[in-house]
Each structure stands twice: as structure tokens, then as C-alpha cells.
Amino acid sequence: MKQQLVICLLLFAFALQAQQVELSGSRKAVKTSSDIMVTVTPLACITTVLLLQDWEGMKQGAFAAATTIGVSYALKYLVDKERPDRSDNRSFPSLHTSVAFTGATFIQKRYGWKWGIPAYVVASYVGWSRTYAKKHDWWDVAAGAVLGVGSGYLFTRPFADKYNLSVSPVAGNGGYGIYASLRF
């Protein structure tokens, strides 16, 4: 299990190679924020599976991430599309967007829409920011989103199908807690 975690983290780090292009003003700030925000959904996935000790989910997430990153890089070299800022010819598809949407889809499919909606908001921001920062055209971002969602749906199975998960009030203190029990 530790080997899968290390492989997943190495693939994730490899996917986050920073691109050095001079931008000014708000476009530079948005590009920087997208470089940071792309890590939110994958880190949320890793944190959740570790806290819940959801090793099956870890495996599913690793397969989805590896597929997304592998297919994204293959398409970047096969399509050879120039970026809008003319920095290189690796625009299609948006890797930032595909990684963010893979994480969002994993969260939504594995743990439900309650957690999926905020993850999709973050992923959508990453996609929008890549276009705004002139790193991608809208179809690069759309292709990245489709690739991420497709990989997430292909490999992820709902966690709640195996466990009876519900959020319910904790008696006496007005707080909420997660109640989990195995189904047999």
C-alpha cells in the first residue's frame, strides 16, 4: 500500500511541472492561483482515503490519476498544438484541468455529491484560470475536463455502497458526526 501511495505522489509531482511564462497583473495572479489550486482536489482525495483508511479508494484514485496523466501527456505530444501565449506546443489537453477534474470526479463518485460539488467548483476554477492566463484555449480545457471526468468515472466506485455512511447529529452537544457501519 505504501508503494502505491509513493507512486501516486510521484506521478502527481511530475504532473505539476511549472511553466515559466511572463504575464502581468491579474493574469499572472490567476495563473499562479491555478498552479496552486490544481493541487486541492488531489490532496483532498489523498487526505480522505488516508483518514478513512480507504485502501480500495486509494487504488481506484491511483488508477484514475495515472490514466489521466498518461493520456494527457500522450495527447500533448501527438496533437502538438501551440499555446495561446506561444510558449510551447503542448497545449492540448489542459493537464491542470484534467488532474483537477479527475480529483473532483473521484471525490464525487466515491463520497457523494455533498463533497463533489465543492470539488467541481475548484476544478472549474482551475479550467477557467488556464484560459484566462492564456495557457489554453477553451477546447483544451474542455478536453482536459472530459478526460478527467472520464478517468474518474472509469475507475471509481462509490464508497457508500460498501459502508452505510450518514451524517447525523451527535447526541447532546449540537454537533454533527459521521456514522459508519459495515453492510453484510
Tens-digit pLDDT profile for residues 36-74 = 999 999 999 999 999 999 999 999 999 999 999 999 999
Domain that holds residue 84: 26-182
In a domain, 166, yes or no: yes
In a domain, 8, yes or no: no
Question: pTM of the prediction?
Answer: 0.76
In a domain, 1, yes or no: no
In a domain, 126, yes or no: yes
Alpha helix segments (H runs only) across the chain: 2-15, 25-37, 40-51, 55-79, 95-111, 113-132, 138-155
> Nearest-5° angle of CA 171, CA 176, CA 179?
85
The pLDDT of residue 137 is above 50: yes
In a domain, 9, yes or no: no
Cell of 27: 493574469
Task: Give the model's pLDDT for residue 28.
Answer: 87
In a domain, 170, yes or no: yes
State the total domains in the chain: 1
In a domain, 7, yes or no: no
What average pLDDT does this structure show over 160-166? 55
Task: Give the model's pLDDT for residue 172.
Answer: 53
In a domain, 138, yes or no: yes
Q: How far apart are CA 106 and CA 102, in angstroms?
A: 6
